[in-house]
A and B are shown apart, each in its own frame.
Chain A
């Protein structure tokens, strides 16, 4: 750095060109007095609006069903009755609504598609990822898909247990950022039951083609993790240490 600091700037260049290219941070926005110029201010608001809408858009079961023709799809709700409660009570988002009934399947795997903090991510990416994942699990007995409303990751534990599945994969909308409102995360838990903790799960995040992971990349990683979890009879921290091929993206 100290060498770089002493080098003169070539004349005639916009001095910000090099620096702007090195970061997505909102640098050199200019000023209107001591505030941001209107155009920059509105750019920021647009990004925030997209993130807000991604959080509050309701999950549309018909759209998910239409994108997965021929797949049986069950619907469940968490114990959080509405979005405001969901956002303030993560504990309720981890429990099934009272009276929820799911068929016992004794499947190898349950797949839960959960709205999480970005229903938009589910609308845009869940069908593509589910399809890619199931293609990679030919020998697995997979329970009917479950679509979960107002759900946190750990709701998958209750769903997996109720279905009698040996493992659960939860596809869930991640907390939207200003530049990524549609990112899907995948959480794998072996032997799901309420009380599992985060260190007992494996995660693949930022599934969001074309900017983040592709469906194929994510599905490859999750399928490999599932295979290794079946060998080990466990998921989580122990599994992650098995080798570079299993590194979550």
Chain B
């Protein structure tokens, strides 16, 4: 293949392979600078975007970013590519594809956009996102429909679900329960009640699964539980007959990075089959849950593509979705500010990445949620997370993660609070998952307008949950 060239402002820039082209076309972020693949000037970035815009989408089927022979993610993506689904856009360039998506979005043609997923590859979607502004990402994301279900339905129009994340530094049962009750009373938990365990052991995982299962059973809550242990730990829990609703795993966009996580594609398939066999669903049979995040491959030193060239972190992130979609997930979320300022430096970079991840995941057919979060050494604060949250709500994001008072006392970072999710729903006119909303009504937790009540601690509805939990 010969190098591609683009000219901006009288300067000509050369991009030897697709790897450089995609990287240089990526909006600025610290992780790409760290990896040494970012554009060296604003002009070079736009030149790369111009070249990318004229590139036929089908190029990505012939020319790889990470080699087919070396990488099982590339093989999975290309071997399962659906040519029929790709046909409607097969003749377009990346730039024309962007235009087509925006036209369909403006016309409200969800069917045309949503049907493309099996025909798109992560690299196609990542490339397209690099030509989009934030509002483009919102406009198309909002018209990309992905609906999944287990005991609640995720992704219906006009809904915004939430993961209730009741983490505790020692997995103390009462401490975890306190956060669960706090979240339920504020209308959170319709996507999942999902705990990051402090210790990744089968015994601990089983104990936490039984705790959440008891809460769900006792109150008949139409949601699912998850303990976000390593997939091998969940396999052990399954062997012990634990009530496993969802198999969780962190995944990344290269075989090498997944090896760093201790997972293989076969292992994920085995665990999914185990959970599926339990038949715990009522409205659907999506039994997997994945987390991802830009920078995870770089932080594992597993970010190199063809010829040992560093691949940009956003393209690698989209490739992680190429892994996740193979396992029919109920939920997928990017953890967008967690990894630190060396990958996403400030509020602008985090906001952009969150919208890109949502767009790319949705377009590839995933029920995409976001952990809108930050660490204390990043240039990000609550104003930035408010902005991203509201934009994601407008973009039709499937679910957001919420913790008590924005403060995760186990993982030591800040995510959204339960009240933040209420704000997003109220401002944007969104509602919880329908099964969960009906449950909130049954528990007398909604007022006549359908809003989650502001309850005194001794209100009957609050007492019912609290009494059980604190005894």
Binding site for B on A (CB under 8 A): 1-2, 4-9, 14-20, 22-31, 33-36, 40, 44-45, 47-48, 51-52, 54-55, 87-91, 117, 175-179
Q: Are B414 and A15 in contact (CB under 8 A)?
A: no
Would you list 12 pairs from A and B whose C-beta atoms are within 8 A, ordered by A residue? A2-B218, A4-B469, A8-B471, A9-B471, A14-B457, A22-B172, A22-B174, A29-B404, A34-B419, A34-B422, A36-B405, A117-B377
Q: With both chains docked as a complex, state the minimum distance between the C-beta of B339 and any C-beta of chain A, in angstroms.
A: 12
B178-186, B198-206, B247-255: which lies at the interface: B178-186
User: Which residues does chain B contribute within 8 Å of A48, judged by CB atoms?
Assistant: 376, 381-382, 414
**Shortest beta-carbon distance from B414 to chain A in Å:** 7
CB-CB under 8 A for A22 and B175, given A15-B458, A88-B30, A88-B33: yes
Pick from B34, B172, B406, B462: contact of A23, CB below 8 A. B172
Determine the distance from Cα of A81 to Cα of B430 in the docked complex, in whole angstroms.
47
Can you name the residue of chain B whose Cβ is closest to the Cβ of A1?
B214
Q: Which residues of A contact B463 (CB under 8 A)?
A: 9, 15
CB distance from A137 to the nearest CB of B (A): 32
Residues of B contacting A23 with CB < 8 Å? 168, 172, 174-176, 178-179, 409
Contacting residues, chain A, for B458 (C-beta < 8 A): 14-15
Q: A1-B211, A23-B172, A44-B405 are in contact. Are A15 and B466 (CB under 8 A)?
A: yes
A26 and B214 in contact, given A88-B33, A178-B414 (Cβ under 8 angstroms): no
Q: Which residue of B lies closest to A30 (CB)?
A: B454
Closest Cβ neighbor of B167 among chain A residues: A25
* Least CB distance, A31 to chain B, in whole angstroms: 5
Q: Check if B41 is an interface residue, CB within 8 A of chain A.
A: no
| A7 adjacent to B376 (CB under 8 Å) | no
Beyond A25-B175, A25-B404, A27-B404, is A1–B215 a contact (Cβ under 8 Å)? yes
Q: A177-B412, A178-B414 are in contact. Are A5 and B468 (CB under 8 A)?
A: yes
- The residue that B466 contacts in the complex, of A16, A44, A45, A117, with Cβ under 8 A, is A16
A88's nearest neighbour on chain B, judged by CB, is B30
A34 lies within 8 A of B172 (CB): no
What residues of chain A lie closer than 8 Å to B179, measured between beta carbons? 23, 25, 27
Q: Is the CB–CB distance between B377 and A5 below 8 Å?
A: no
Give the contacting residue for B34; candidates A35, A91, A117, A179; CB below 8 A. Answer: A91
B173 within 8 A of A: yes
Query: How far is it, in angstroms, between the C-alpha of A8 and the C-alpha of B468 when the chains are bound?
Result: 7
CB closest residue in chain A, given B29: A88
**Would you call A31 and B175 a contact (CB within 8 A)?**
no
Contact yes or no, A88 B178, CB < 8 A: no
Chain A residue numbers with a CB within 8 Å of B215 are 1, 5
- The range of chain B's interface size is 35 or more
Q: Out of A18, A19, A44, A117, name the residue touching B407 (CB < 8 Å).
A: A44
Q: Is B134 an interface residue (CB 8 A)?
A: no
B403: Cβ under 8 A from any A Cβ: yes
Cβ of B471 and Cβ of A22 under 8 Å apart? no
| Docked-complex contact B457 and A87, CB < 8 angstroms | no
Shortest B329–chain A CB gap in Å is: 27
For the complex of A and B, 5 pairs with smallest distance between CB atoms: A26-B405, A9-B467, A23-B175, A15-B466, A7-B471
Knowing A19-B178, A91-B34 touch, does A4 contact B471 (C-beta < 8 A)? yes
Interface residues of B in 110-141 (CB under 8 A from A): none
Report B-chain residues with C-beta under 8 Å of the C-beta of A7: 467-468, 471
For B409, list chain A residues within 8 Å (CB): 23-25, 179
Indicate whether A19 sits within 8 Å of B342 (C-beta atoms), given known contacts A24-B409, A26-B404, A28-B457. Answer: no
Say whether, besides A35-B423, A48-B376, A177-B412, A26 and B178 are in contact (CB < 8 Å).
Answer: no
Among candidates A15, A33, A51, residue contacting B376 with C-beta atoms closer than 8 Å: A51
Q: Is B13 an interface residue (CB 8 A)?
A: no
Q: Which residue among B178, B342, B382, B451 has the maximum number of chain A CB atoms within 10 Å of its CB?
A: B178
Asked if B174 and A18 sit within 8 Å, CB to CB, the answer is: yes
B3 to chain A, nearest CB (A): 28
- A175 in contact with B377 (CB, 8 Å): yes
A residues less than 8 Å from B382 (CB atoms): 44-45, 48
B405 touches A29 (CB 8 A): yes
The listed residue (A17, A27, A29, A175) touching B375 by CB distance below 8 A is: A175
B467→A15 contact, CB < 8 A:
yes
Q: Are A27 and B419 in contact, CB atoms less than 8 angstroms apart?
A: no
Q: Are B175 and A9 in contact (CB under 8 A)?
A: no
* Contact in complex: A19, B404 (CB < 8 Å): no
CB pair A176–B377 under 8 Å, yes or no, is yes
For residue A47, give the distance in angstroms from its CB to the closest CB of chain B.
Answer: 8
Q: What residue in chain A is nearest B465 (Cβ atoms)? A: A15
Whether the pair A19, B377 counts as a contact (CB closer than 8 A) is: no
Q: Mark B445-458, 1 if CB is under 8 A from A, else 0.
A: 00000011010011
| Residue numbers in B under 8 Å from A90 (CB-CB) | 34, 342
A234 to chain B, nearest CB (A): 23
1/0 per residue, CB under 8 A from A, across B414-443: the answer is 100101001101100000000000000000
CB atoms of A89 and B342 under 8 A apart? yes
B469 touches A19 (CB 8 A): yes
